[in-house]
Each structure stands twice: as structure tokens, then as C-alpha cells.
Amino acid sequence: MSPHPPPNPSSPSPTGHTTSSRSTSSSSIHSTTLLTPGGASPTPGNEATPTSLYHKTIALDEATKDIVGEISQLERDYADLKSKKAELELKIEELKRDMVALNAAEKKAAEKCKEERACLEEWEKKLELLMENLKELYSHSKGAVMKAVTAALLYIPLVSLGVTVVATEVAIGWRMVSWGVAAVSR
């Protein structure tokens, strides 16, 4: 086996070789050596022709380039995914902090709500007590007003009856006195 590829029959050149194939053939031989199973060389009966070997090395080079491209693409994808993972982890941490803050705010709001509810219940109790006192006062005042009205309604006729009786007695007494004086002076 020679390190140079066989001449290409479709492209005539003075040496029979192309420059680009010469540079790839030496690297492809190393690749071929690496890719042979078990490091065994082909047996003399199975030895390939130089043209088929050249095509195989070119195909192997292209496959290697494809694999290297795919590996580099996978490495870029891996780096992108790693950065996205880091971003998501930062977002998760931020969301956790937000959740902690929201839980604390919720607890404060619940405590304040309990305080306000207790204050409201206290005011409701005071209002109920005040309403009871007002009802009691109203019922007492209603009774007192009713007593006062009843007394006034009874007192006025009694007073006027008493005044009438006294006035009648005074008038009768005056008349008697004047008759008595008239009878004596006659």
C-alpha cells in the first residue's frame, strides 16, 4: 500500500495526483488505522484495490467530518441547554423567593384580618350593648313620659276642678259676707 492515492482517470494531470487528495489521504490512512477492528490489517486474499481503498478513505473522511460536525453541534446544543438550565434555575430561585415573600405577606394579611375581625366583633358587642341601653332607656322614658302625660292629663282637670271649687266657695263666701253685712246694716 502506498501513502498516495491512485491517479484519477477522469482528471488528467502530469503526475496523476491531485493536491487535495494527497493531503487527505495521509490523514485518512491514520483514520483507517484507528477504525480497523481489533487493529488487524486485511488479509492478503481480501486486499482491496487502490481505487476502492481511495474511495473508502474519502467516504471515511466525509463520515468523520460529518461526525465531527455533529459532535460540535451537540456540544453547542449542550452548552445552550446548560445555559438555559442555569437561567431556569435562577428563575426557579427567584420564584421561590417570591413565594416566600408572598407567604409572609399572606401571613401578615391573615394576622391583620384576625385583628380587624376581633376589633370589629368588639365594636359590634359595644354597639349591641349601646342598643340595649337605648332600648331600656326608651322603655323607661316611654313609661316616664306616659306617666307624665297621664299625670298632666289628670292633674289639669283636678286643678281646674279644685280652682273651680275654691272660686265657687270664695264667691259663695263673699256673697254670704255681703248678705250678712247687709242684714246687720239694715
Q: How far apart are CA 63 and CA 37, in angstroms?
A: 17
Average pLDDT on 158-166 reads: 88
CA distances from 18 to 7, 13, 27, 63, 113 (A): 8, 8, 15, 21, 88
Q: Lowest mean pLDDT: which of 6-20, 57-71, 85-99?
A: 6-20
**Model confidence pLDDT, tens digit, residues 26-71:** 444 444 444 444 444 455 555 558 788 999 999 999 999 999 999 9
Q: How far apart are CA 162 and CA 170, in angstroms?
A: 12
Task: Count other C-beta atoms under 10 Å from residue 58's C-beta.
Answer: 15
